[in-house]
């Protein structure tokens, strides 16, 4: 799924969409963790899920600071798409589940990249968004490296 998060002209709307995307990511990580067999993969994905939970808290605090409405959960459409990739992947094992999660991380990476370039970015959002992008890049790199390991079944 190609995300449109970060393309909204009003920065507060973009932040709300990003919070929803992070909620979606948490849901997808829950689905993946419940389906993976390898315990070290599960552990790493729990770390990544915690990063997304932190993003939700930090971004929600920014919205609150600007008296903006805070999303309370994932977007129904995006949630189904993100979680659906992982649920379908259950049919063929850990490698496919991780590949589905990498696809989700492609979306979150793109969203954080766009958000870091947003023309109306609030000054106090800069550090939060830069840290979020660094997290997303780390997630994607680990997934790519792990998927490419030849012994991965």
Q: Which residue has the higher pLDDT, 84 or 70?
A: 70
Helices (H), 5-118: 11-35, 39-65, 76-89, 94-116
- Residue 150: pLDDT band by 50, 70, 90 thresholds? very low
The full set of domains in the chain, from first to last, is 11-147 (1.20.1260.10)
Cα distance between residue 63 and residue 124, in whole Å: 11
User: For residue 136, what pLDDT is reported?
Assistant: 97
- Asked whether 107 and 54 are in contact (CB, 8 A), the reply is no
- Return phi, psi of residue 85, to 5°: -60, -40
Which tokens go with 15? 């932040």
User: For residue 74, what pLDDT is reported?
Assistant: 72
pTM of the model: 0.87
Which tokens go with 9? 């002209």
Residue 65 confidence (pLDDT) above 70: yes
Q: Which residues contact 60 (CB under 8 A, 6 or more apart)?
A: 19, 70, 71
């Amino acid at each position: 799924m190609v995300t449109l998060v970060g393309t909204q002209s009003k920065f507060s709307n973009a932040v709300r969409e990003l919070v929803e995307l992070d909620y979606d990511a948490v849901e997808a990580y829950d689905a993946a963790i419940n389906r993976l067999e390898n315990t070290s993969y599960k552990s790493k994905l729990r770390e990544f899920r915690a990063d997304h939970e932190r993003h939700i808290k930090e971004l929600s605090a920014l919205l609150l600071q600007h008296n903006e409405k805070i999303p309370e959960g994932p977007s129904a459409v995006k949630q189904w798409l993100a979680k659906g990739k992982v649920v379908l992947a259950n049919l063929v094992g850990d490698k496919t589940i991780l590949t589905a999660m990498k696809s989700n991380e492609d979306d979150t990476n793109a969203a954080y990249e766009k958000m870091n370039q947003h023309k109306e970015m609030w000054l106090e959002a800069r550090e939060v968004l830069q840290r979020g992008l660094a997290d997303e890049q780390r997630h994607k790199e680990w997934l790519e490296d792990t998927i490419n390991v030849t012994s991965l079944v």
